[in-house]
Amino acid sequence: MSSRVETSTPPHTPHPIGPYNHIAKVGQFITIGGTAGFDPASGELAGPDVSTQTRQILTSFAVMLASVGSDLEHIVHCNVFLKDMGDFDEMNRAYSEQLGNHRPARTVIGVAELPKPGVLLTMNVTAVTSDVFGRCIDSSLSVVRYDGRVRQFAPGLHVFIQVRERPMQPIRSIVAVLLAALLLTLVGCGAPPVTFAEVPVHPEMTPMERGSNSIADAFASSLETSLTERGTVELQLYSVPNAVMWEEIDGFYSSALAESDWKLAAELQQESAGINTTGWMRGSFASEQGLMVGYAPDMLGDGAFLIVALFSEG
């Protein structure tokens, strides 16, 4: 009998210093073990002060939570193990800056020692996945209108056609909204299918390998998992130069597709501080297709990225 407990240590997080994984997950409940302020890129402490170490710990938590469909706003409880209570106020300032208005339950414990030299504090958290408050009322793929909102339910995925603006939305929430919009707006145009090789590529984009950007990987994996139940999805990740902004990318694709039979889909357009997307629809009932272009700025130090995805139903 397989264990119900899923454990993992995602890329771009500090290497565990003992025989454990950072994350344990059972259903929608997540536990992250004790984490210190080590920079995963260098393997060294992010800084000698409690403020820098606090920020690094919470940045690591953001990466870990994104890998299991959650984010900092879905932390339920946090334990802080602080070596010097004289650092309490400084830790609180950095903690508040990272968590914003979210105030989960928290316990601060004074400790005499921590495992590595220079470590001023460690934290662990419990959290839930970002879709924990959704209830799937039908395990088959269906569309339900409820309280004026459309919900798209797929096996194992709760989808709410309602985006709440905030600094950084959880990856699964964004994918859920885009998936629902994609499946609800496919229309017939009576044309043969387009291949991925025919999709325009912005001249300044560089193809990105999986494993080089944790947020891009999470977005791509969620999109692939969600869409393959209804058809096929082909996608490519690209690194975006610092000088290229979303407005330029959006303008390039709008111009490149203007004379084609691709029709702009307003439902796939989203702009936020986290991920910006736009999309188009085309095809006949036998070969309906959706094209989505998504851009995310550099949120965790891995660089900005672009994702181009072609969905073909059937």
* Residue range 77-94, pLDDT digits in tens: 999 999 999 999 999 999
Residue-level pLDDT at 185: 47
Q: 276 pLDDT band (50/70/90 cuts)?
A: confident
Q: 194 pLDDT band (50/70/90 cuts)?
A: confident
Residue-level pLDDT at 11: 87
Q: Are residues 191 and 305 in the same domain?
A: yes
Q: 164 pLDDT band (50/70/90 cuts)?
A: very low
Q: Per the domain annotation, does 104 fall within a domain?
A: yes
CA angle 263, 147, 280 (to 5 degrees): 10
Q: Tens digit of pLDDT for each residue in 101-127? A: 899 999 999 999 999 999 999 999 999
Residue-level pLDDT at 142: 31
Q: Tens digit of pLDDT for each residue in 214-234? A: 778 877 877 777 666 667 889
Q: Tens digit of pLDDT for each residue in 28-55? A: 899 999 999 999 989 999 999 999 999 9
Q: Per the domain annotation, does 272 fall within a domain?
A: yes
Q: Per the domain annotation, does 156 fall within a domain?
A: no
Q: Are residues 117 and 180 in the same domain?
A: no
Residue-level pLDDT at 240: 94
Residue with tokens 């119900």: 4
Q: Are residues 122 and 186 in the same domain?
A: no
Mean pLDDT to the nearest integer, 243-269: 88
Q: Are residues 122 and 184 in the same domain?
A: no
Residue-level pLDDT at 215: 78
**% residues pLDDT > 90 (the chain):** 45
Residue-level pLDDT at 182: 53
Residue-level pLDDT at 137: 28
Q: Per the domain annotation, does 152 fall within a domain?
A: no
Domain assignment of residue 192, given as a range: 169-313
Count structural domains, the chain: 2
